[in-house]
Amino acid sequence: MTKTDILKMLNDADTYVSGQDICDKLELSRTAVWKAIKQLKEEGYEIDAIKNKGYLIKSVPDRITDLEIKSLLADGDIVEDIIYFEETDSSNNQAKIMAEHGRKMPFLVIAEEQTAGKGRRGRKWISPKKSGIYMTLAIKPDIPPQKASMLTIVAAMAVANGLKKACFDGHEGICQIKWPNDIVINKKKAVGILTEMSAEPDMVNYVVVGIGINVNNNDFDESIREMATSISLESKAQVSRRDIIAGFIHEFSRLYKTFEESSDLSGLMDEYNKCLVNINNRVKILGDASQYEAQALGIDKYGRLLVKKDDGEVTAVLSGEVSVRGLYGYA
Ligand code: BTN
């Protein structure tokens, strides 16, 4: 814990922090502080140490370990338990195993690499080392199972907001949501979300919300090249994966509190609809048996997409039953 606490103090400060302040605040000896700083340097942190001034973090390694993320947590964050895997099959699978074994929720599983990453509709989510963020939030909401898909909507908003703040200087309108939960940048997909649940007829045992973010990828498989992008391609800047993850946790915590007040999306749907890539545009609704064009009006408090058909009828479509496409491509 010492290292995490020291890291947190240094992260929170934008100037030098004196060794004495660290000792006093954390009740540590000078030697303990010195040892922890030495370890952090060995782990790749560039820390400036100046006599009579103290310590300043100059650069951080692109690490997304539990230690790293915990040092960025803020008051009000609802996720404190973070589990990191250097490599695993799928963070969703691991989160489900831990939830089944009674681990207290919420918790967040982060993987540096996934060997069997899962996408929606039985697809694979290619998950190479360092290129992306592969994380799964496990949570036990006090809602009936029919409402669980709303959490995916909350998570999508949290990722979009987190990305906007961490990578695009807070600019509105860059990270948009393609209903229900893909994040698109310039109409190309940068984030996918796969939600899985275990439930009884009237209660949820757990929901795992798995989030895959293309961060440093600069080339994609031919099958998805036309529709996929990454944060570094779009922001054209150095991207910090840890800031994205911490941003997601902060935003999810804020939004989830609003969600809990009504157990639906009534307090969030306006904010969501502002991010919706196809709002007011014509879209193609693709069902199993049929497809039609309509105008997308935005979501309702249940997370359904309201669309206006050509005969003027407004109907609500359910995620899972249909997919929505722009008229000229994926978004
Ligand atoms: C999609 O198909 O759009 C959803 C992709 C979800 C991928 C993420 S990566 C982290 C988590 N673990 C998985 O195996 N899948 C999700």
pLDDT, tens digit, for every residue of 145-156? 999 999 999 999
Q: What ranges do the domains of the chain cover?
A: 2-59, 66-275, 282-326
Spatial distance between the Cα atoms of 106 and 138, rounded to a whole number of angstroms: 5
Contact present, 294 and 283 (Cβ < 8 Å): yes
Res 328: pLDDT: 78
Pick the CATH number of 66-275 from 3.30.70.920, 3.40.50.300, 3.30.930.10, 3.40.50.10090: 3.30.930.10
> How many angstroms separate the CA atoms of 269 and 277, rounded?
14
- 115, with CB counted inside 10 A (0-12, 13-18, 19+), is exposed
Residue 209: how many other CB atoms lie within 10 Å: 28
The ligand 1 site (C-beta within 6 Å) comprises 90-92, 114, 117-120, 123, 125, 134-136, 182, 192-194, 210-212
Q: Which two tokens stand for residue 243?
A: 């800031």
pLDDT higher for 155 or 2? 155
66-275 and 282-326 share one fold:
no
Within 8 A by CB and 6+ apart from 249, the residues are 69, 73, 77, 79, 108, 162
What pLDDT sits at residue 322? Answer: 80
Pocket mutation for ligand 1, best pick of 98, 125, 181, 184 (most atoms within 8 Å of C-beta): 125
pLDDT tens across 177-198, in order? 999 989 999 999 999 999 999 9
What is the distance in A from the centroid of ligand 1 to the CA of 218? 19
Question: In this predicted structure, what is the pLDDT of residue 323?
Answer: 86
Omega before 106 cis (within 30°)?
A: yes
Dihedral angle at the C-alpha atoms of 63, 194, 253, 91, nearest 10 degrees?
A: -40
**175 or 328, higher pLDDT:** 175
pLDDT at 238 > cutoff 80: no
Task: Pick the closest to residue 181 from 145, 225, 148 (CA basis).
Answer: 148
Torsion of CA 156, 157, 162, 167, to 10 degrees: 80
pLDDT digits (tens, 9 = 90+) for 72-109: 999 999 999 999 999 999 999 999 999 999 999 999 99
Residues 6+ apart with CB under 8 A from 273: 279, 298, 299
Select from 2.60.450.10, 3.30.230.10, 2.30.30.100, 3.90.1170.50 the CATH code of 282-326.
2.30.30.100
Q: Is the domain defined by 2-59 classed in CATH 1.10.10.10?
A: yes
Residues with Cβ within 8 Å of 268's Cβ and at least 6 positions away in sequence, in order, are 153, 154, 157, 255, 258, 259
Q: Please tell me the predicted confidence (pLDDT) of residue 39.
A: 92
Q: If you take atom 16 of ligand 1, which residue's CA is the nearest one?
A: 210
Question: What pLDDT, in 10s, does the model give residues 15-26?
Answer: 999 999 999 999
Phi-psi region of 320 (alpha: psi -120 to 50; beta: other; left: phi over 0): left
pTM for the predicted model, two decimal places: 0.91
Q: Is the dihedral of CA 88, 118, 142, 164 positive or negative?
A: positive
